Amino acid sequence: MPKLETLRKIVQEVDSAETLDDALVLIVKRIRSAMSTHVCSVYLFDKDLQAFVLMATEGLHQKSVGQVSIPLHEGLVGLVGQRAEPLNLDDAAQHPQFRYFEETGEERFKSFLGVPIIHQRRVLGVLIVQQREQRKFDEGDEAFLVTMSAQLAGIIAHAEATVGIYSSTNQTETVGSESKYDGIAASPGVAIGVGVVMAPPADLTTVPQKTISEDKIALEIERFQAALKQVRRDIRAVGRTLSKRLRKDEAALFDVYLRMLDDNALPGEVISLIEEGQWAQGALCAVAMEHIRQFSLMDDPYLRERATDIRDLGRRVLSYLQEEASAEPKQFPPHTILIAEEVTPAMLGEVPPESLVGLVSVLGSSNSHAAILARSMGIPTLMGAVDLPMTQLEGQDLVLDGYMGRVFVNASRDLRHYYELIIAEERQLVVGLEAIRDLPAETLDGRSIPLWVNTAMGADVNRSLERGAEGIGLYRTEVPFMIRESFPTEAEQVQSYRVQLESFAPRSVTMRTLDIGGDKALPYFPIEEDNPFLGWRGIRVTLDHPEIFKVQVRAMLKASIGLDNLRIMLPMVSYVGEVIEAKRLINDALNELRDEGLPIARPALGVMIEVPAAVYQARDIARHVDFLSVGSNDLTQYLLAVDRNNPRVAGLYHSYHPAVLQALRCVVEDGHKEGVQVSICGEMAGDPGGAVLLMAMGYDVLSMSPIHLPKVKAAIRAVKYTEACAMLDNVMQLLDPKAVEEAIYTLLYDAGVGRLGNRRNIEAG
């Protein structure tokens, strides 16, 4: 069996091929030689033909490439694809499903080993090896080919998805054909606009490719040389400082670095690319990445290590270029669709709100905090678009479908028109919903339920009031912390909390104490953990840092003077002791302020139920507080063991899972046994169907992103409470989340508000 090292090299080499065709040719070449077989071929599944097409081969006739297509249910290749499992035969011709394709000349080969190429449960193709003599491939061979195919599946899927926008020779040349990329629908709506790529600092892989006009070339070269000069100066300085502590041969490393930065080395290539019209950052990254690729393929370990040096040097130069660029404010076109590897709340703040129409993130899922913020701002969003060729989308025309979770590059006129109609239709729906703004959320048979909102920024307040919100059920205080460069002072916090409290008075405002950790990092307070969602998060951090906690609580209390509408809520509680400890700190803060002579009313105190342990302790916790509020986003993730940010398992994240429903019912019943108010502030409350279900369970308050409030109200006003309770009894018996969704949708549909479901439902209904 070939070695792991061989496997790693093949994958690396294939990964850096420029086109899918090049990748496939390399795959068959390298595998044939690694396994010492006579033939290696790859067939890819063609959806239109419903057949496996021979895409590359080493050993069969080259003229049959692209010509031979094997129908899904035919031949041995068809069988491997259909069964999605390996097939290992010492005499292939004896197999009843053997079919011989004359064009390939494969009659000479007796033994056959085929394995499926599967990406995300989808069979992309079949990889086969054949041998002239009759012999069974051994287990080692089979294991190697299976491993190879598993590794190649991702590369092929990515390459397949990328084909179509660019020609294989010039990565920045637009061919003009339409391409589609799927991801996770994270915030509803449609956006038509222009891609703007936001790259994290000094990351060579995410810098967009951008062309510049001829008159800018000289200036761009000047910029590059200035950055280079700074890096040379830095390296000399480091070299000097370390020279006394290093051996002579070690210190020579700095000379190697400087030689790499010599005008005739890397910089020469970068300048040539700039002269061809590429901007300096893009040119630098293209050259650096190519050298990194070549060095990492070297057999000699010393030379392989040079890839690390080039990456380091490239990053240094890039960071100077970026620093210089950030001195000029970045320009955003009027219909910006922001693209990033990982969209962060801070990025949202960088684009002027009137220009931002959509968001696309390669990583993350619909429950990531960036997605939640996007929903609260009403920005159509696609998350987890893992196959997106992000760096090539700068300045491209995009159509983003936030209902279905897809983005189109260079959409055809017809498709664009279709989406323009949807945007117009949505405007109509909003106008219709505005009419019920001042009416209560009350069912046809007179059951009413308060609808509150989740906020994070000052701007959310007006949006929420315009939509008829009756209170704030969750103010995510960490967001103002996240868009700063250091912890805000007590006075600064008082100021931002006062905006929320004052605008909503006399309605209640629920402020959650700092919930950092997990996927919410503060740039100035990094928390490095292998498993951050099970780590130092929420109340765990603030109880360990009472100074941060107390300053925040003091600020909340001071901001509430004269308004008395503050409620304080604790996140990520997993046992009663945390509540007791936090309550003691809050009491201390209250007493201190009262001692200072400030007339502060005692705020209501609540706990978020978002960790499974807290579900089972809801009654014990309730005895210590005034209200409970379910955080269904985290509760779902922890109950189902499904990372809320991981696109790979997003299909398993389901708020209608029977275990989640049982937990939700248990919390509301137990909370009521102790006589406390029970609300919910997870995203589930903002889904019109979910809201009706939660009302039937007995939740006292539903708190949601402001954007969802009108739709939720319309759904509640359209149904009868008695019918909602009957539906609840029914769904509590069901075992499949999809069946639960169906039952809820049927209720909405029968009530004449099927339109309020998601787009899939609108299309179905």
Q: Is 517 in the site for Mg ion (CB under 5 A)?
A: no
Spatial CA neighbour of 32 closest among 150, 145, 111:
145
What SS3 class is residue 34?
A: helix
| Identity of the residue, 179 or 633, whose beta carbon is nearer to ligand PEP in the bound complex | 633
Report the candidate in 310, 316, 257, 309 with the shortest Cα–Cα distance to residue 288: 310
The one of ligand PEP, Mg ion, none whose footprint includes residue 682, by CB under 5 to 8 A per kind, is ligand PEP
Strand 677-680 relative to strand 701-704, pairing: parallel
Indicate the residue among 512 and 711 with the shorter CB distance to Mg ion. 512
Q: Which residues, numbered 249-278, are part of the site for Mg ion (CB under 5 A)?
A: none
**What is the C-alpha separation between 13 and 6, in angstroms, rounded?**
11
Q: Which of the residues 355 through 384 are near ligand PEP (CB under 6 A)?
A: 372
Closer by beta carbon to ligand PEP, 100 or else 575: 575
Q: Which does 681 bind (CB under 5 to 8 A by kind): ligand PEP, Mg ion, none?
A: ligand PEP
**DSSP structural state of residue 524:** T
Q: Where are the alpha helices (DSSP H) in 163-279?
A: 217-243, 248-260, 266-275
Q: What is the C-alpha separation between 459 and 465, in angstroms, rounded?
A: 11
For the bound state, the minimum distance from the C-beta of residue 539 to ligand PEP, rounded and expressed in Å, comes to: 12
Q: Which is nearer to ligand PEP, 256 or 534 (CB)?
A: 534
Q: Which residue has the tokens 């993350």?
A: 364
Please indicate whether residue 369 is annotated as part of the active site: yes
Interacting partner of 670 out of ligand PEP, Mg ion, none (Cβ under 5 to 8 A depending on kind) = none
Cβ distance to Mg ion smaller for residue 572 or 586: 572
Pick between residue 318 and residue 573 the one whose CB is nearest to ligand PEP: 573
> What is the DSSP track for 486-519?
SPPPHHHHHHHHHHHHHHHTTS-EEEEP---BTT
Query: How many Å apart are CA 144 and CA 275, to the nearest integer?
Result: 45
Residue 36 region, left (φ>0) first, then alpha (ψ -120 to 50), else beta?
left
Closest CB to ligand PEP among residues 130, 632: 632
Closest separation in Å from C-beta 23 to ligand PEP: 40
Q: Please tell me the distance from the alpha carbon of residue 24 to that of residue 9, in angstroms, as a whole number.
A: 15
**CA–CA separation, 566 vs 559, rounded Å?**
9
Partner whose footprint covers residue 129, from Mg ion, ligand PEP, none (CB < 5 to 8 Å by kind): none
Is residue 380 within 8 A of residue 187, CB to CB? The reply is: yes
Bridge partners, residue 112, by sequence:
89, 130
φ, ψ at 426 (rounded to 5°): -65, -40
- Tell me the C-alpha distance between 456 and 476, whole Å: 5
CB of 737 to ligand PEP, least distance (A): 17
Minimum distance of ligand PEP from residue 512's CB (angstroms):
8
| Among Mg ion, ligand PEP, none, residue 311 binds (CB under 5-8 Å by kind) | none
Binding partner of residue 441 among ligand PEP, Mg ion, none, CB cut-off 5 to 8 Å per kind: none
> What distance in Å separates the CA atoms of residue 177 and residue 154, rounded to the nearest whole number?
23
Assign 702 to helix, strand or coil: strand
Q: How far is the CB of 710 from ligand PEP (least distance, A)?
A: 20
Q: Kindly determine how many residues on this chain lie close enough to bind ligand PEP according to the rule CB under 6 A.
A: 11
**Of 76 and 635, which has the nearer Cβ to ligand PEP?**
635
Q: Which is nearer to ligand PEP, 493 or 637 (CB)?
A: 637
DSSP 756: G
Contacts (CB under 5 A) with Mg ion, residues 310-369:
none
Minimum gap (Å) between residue 599 Cβ and Mg ion: 33
**Alpha-helical runs (H) found in 66-138:** 75-83
288 vs 370 by CB, closer to ligand PEP: 370
Beta carbon nearer to Mg ion, 228 or 621: 621
Residue with tokens 């009663």: 576
| Smaller CB separation from Mg ion, 341 or 634 | 634
State yes or no: residue 655 binds ligand PEP (CB under 6 A). Answer: no
Whose structure tokens read 């405002």? 509
Which single residue brings its beta carbon nearest to ligand PEP?
A: 631
Contact between 633 and ligand PEP per CB under 6 A: yes
b/e per residue, 296-320, with b = 16+ CB within 10 A? beeeeeeeeebbebbbebbbbbbbb
C-beta of 669: minimal distance to ligand PEP in Å?
19
Name the binder of 685 from Mg ion, ligand PEP, none, CB < 5-8 A by kind: none
Choose the stretch contacting ligand PEP; rule: CB under 6 A; options: 56-64, 93-101, 479-487, 628-636: 628-636
Q: How far is CA 389 from the centre of its chain?
A: 15
Cα–Cα distance, 383 to 406 (Å, whole number): 9
Min CB(682)–ligand PEP separation in Å:
3
> In the window 628-667, what residues touch Mg ion (CB under 5 A)?
631, 634
Residue 476 interaction partner, one of ligand PEP, Mg ion, none, beta carbon < 5-8 Å per kind: ligand PEP
- Only one of the segments 70-78, 300-308, 494-502, 631-639 lies at the binding site for ligand PEP (rule: CB under 6 A); that segment is 631-639
Per partner kind, with CB cut-offs from 5 to 8 A, the member of Mg ion, ligand PEP, none near residue 686 is: none
* C-alpha dist (Å) from residue 198 to 63, 331, 598: 45, 12, 46
Q: How far is the CB of 682 from Mg ion (least distance, A)?
A: 7
d(CA 727, CA 719): 11
Q: Smallest distance from the beta carbon of 394 to ligand PEP, in angstroms? A: 31
Can residue 632 be called a binding residue for ligand PEP (CB under 6 A)?
yes
Binding flags for Mg ion, 606-635, as an x/- string (CB under 5 A): ----x--------------------x--x-
**Minimum distance, C-beta of residue 635 to ligand PEP, in the bound complex (Å):** 7
* Catalytic residue (choose from 119, 158, 657, 681): 681
- The answer to whether 38 touches 59, Cβ cutoff 8 Å, is yes
E strand or H helix at 634: helix 632-640
CB of 103 closer than 8 Å to CB of 67: yes
* Chosen residue from 116, 125, 682, 688 binding ligand PEP by CB under 6 A: 682
| Near ligand PEP by CB under 6 A: residue from 470, 634, 643, 700 | 634
| Helices 688-697 & 709-718 angle (0-180, nearest 10) | 60
Q: Per-residue string for binding with ligand PEP, 566-605, x by CB under 6 A? A: ----------------------------------------
Count of residues engaged in binding Mg ion, rule: CB under 5 A: 3
Q: How far is the CB of 631 from ligand PEP (least distance, A)?
A: 3
Task: Please calculate the CA angle 118-121-124 and round it to the nearest 5 degrees.
Answer: 35
Say how far residue 304 (Cα) sits from the centre of its chain. 32
Residue 655 interaction partner, one of Mg ion, ligand PEP, none, beta carbon < 5-8 Å per kind: none
Residue placing its CB nearer to ligand PEP in the complex, 572 or 716: 572
Is residue 610 close enough to count as binding ligand PEP by CB under 6 A?
Answer: yes
CA atoms within 13 A on the CB side of 728: 20
**Residue of 38, 369, 654, 708 marked catalytic:** 369
Under rule CB under 6 A, which residues in 471-500 are in contact with ligand PEP? 474, 476
3-state percent breakdown (helix, strand, coil) of the chain, nearest 5:
50, 15, 35
Instruction: In whole angstroms, give the CA distance from residue 49 to residue 463.
Output: 51
3-state SS class at 759: helix
Strands 336-340 and 51-58, sheet pairing: unpaired
Tokens of 29: 């070449």
Q: Please list every residue from 573 through 612 that binds Mg ion, using CB under 5 A.
A: 610
Question: What part of residues 501-520 is at the interface with ligand PEP (CB under 6 A)?
Answer: 515
Which residues contact ligand PEP (rule: CB under 6 A)? 372, 474, 476, 515, 610, 631-634, 681-682
Which residues contact Mg ion (rule: CB under 5 A)? 610, 631, 634
- Write out the catalytic residue numbers: 369, 681
